[in-house]
Chains A and B, each alone.
Chain A
Amino acid sequence: AQKITQTQPGMFVQEKEAVTLDCTYDTSDPSYGLFWYKQPSSGEMIFLIYQGSYDQQNATEGRYSLNFQKARKSANLVISASQLGDSAMYFCAMREVAGNNRKLIWGLGTSLAVNP
């Protein structure tokens, strides 16, 4: 069963505006980590931000922040002040402690287009 759901196949945003990319997850394990990656058209996956299930604060990394709502099992990525270079695919992923914690479980991704 799919454990990471990204409901937005594609999103558009105007340059300099903020955008939220949705991610919901399903796990019965209390210990897990959530990751966001960016994949530009060049193909390489770039790590953006991490949120642990026990972290008290929402993670932030520069223009990226994570809106973590544990009770709702959502970990939405917020990009502030969008730039043309933010146009890319964005993937949400989860690692659970139980079982084999070396693997990441991936969502299907959201394609973001930033309009000038």
Chain B
Amino acid sequence: DVKVTQSSRYLVKRTGEKVFLECVQDMDHENMFWYRQDPGLGLRLIYFSYDVKMKEKGDIPEGYSVSREKKERFSLILESASTNQTSMYLCASSSNRGLMNTEAFFGQGTRLTVV
């Protein structure tokens, strides 16, 4: 089974802290994604990566950065956490083996609260 593992299920951080959210996948997938999910807003793409050391901005990259030093690991970094970054964060991965029918596999999510 494909496994996407996020380092924390729940996280509480203080305003101004630097926050690291880690995601690891074990299926040798090329693509990895970070989303945030807020009520009524659905899933919004923050950043994605299609190869090691490669990254592309998604729809809401402001206030975030990412790192992909190894193929299996994709980190989301909040440089200076703010209360408006309180949200559910979802990591996903997918393969390039087919053009269309490769579904994305998700981690269990991290509920981040910034106080």
Whole-angstrom distance from the CB of A31 to the nearest CB of chain B? 7
**CB-contacts of B97-115 with A (<8 A):** 99-101, 103-109, 111
Q: Does A101 contact B (CB under 8 A)?
A: yes
Q: Does A68 contact B (CB under 8 A)?
A: no
Question: Is B31 a contact of A102 with CB atoms below 8 Å?
Answer: yes
- CB-CB under 8 A for A44 and B99, given A91-B42, A91-B43, A102-B50: no
Whole-angstrom distance from the CB of B85 to the nearest CB of chain A? 17
Size bracket, chain A contacts:
20 to 34
1/0 per residue A44-59: CB within 8 Å of B? 1111001011000000
Q: 26 interchain pairs (CB within 8 A)? A: A33-B101, A35-B103, A37-B106, A42-B108, A43-B109, A43-B111, A44-B106, A44-B107, A45-B106, A47-B105, A50-B101, A50-B103, A52-B101, A53-B100, A91-B42, A97-B100, A101-B100, A102-B50, A103-B33, A103-B58, A104-B104, A106-B42, A106-B43, A108-B40, A108-B41, A108-B42
- 13 further A-B pairs in the complex, CB-CB below 8 A; given A45-B90, A95-B100: A43-B88, A43-B90, A43-B109, A47-B104, A47-B105, A91-B42, A97-B100, A102-B94, A102-B96, A103-B58, A106-B42, A108-B41, A108-B42
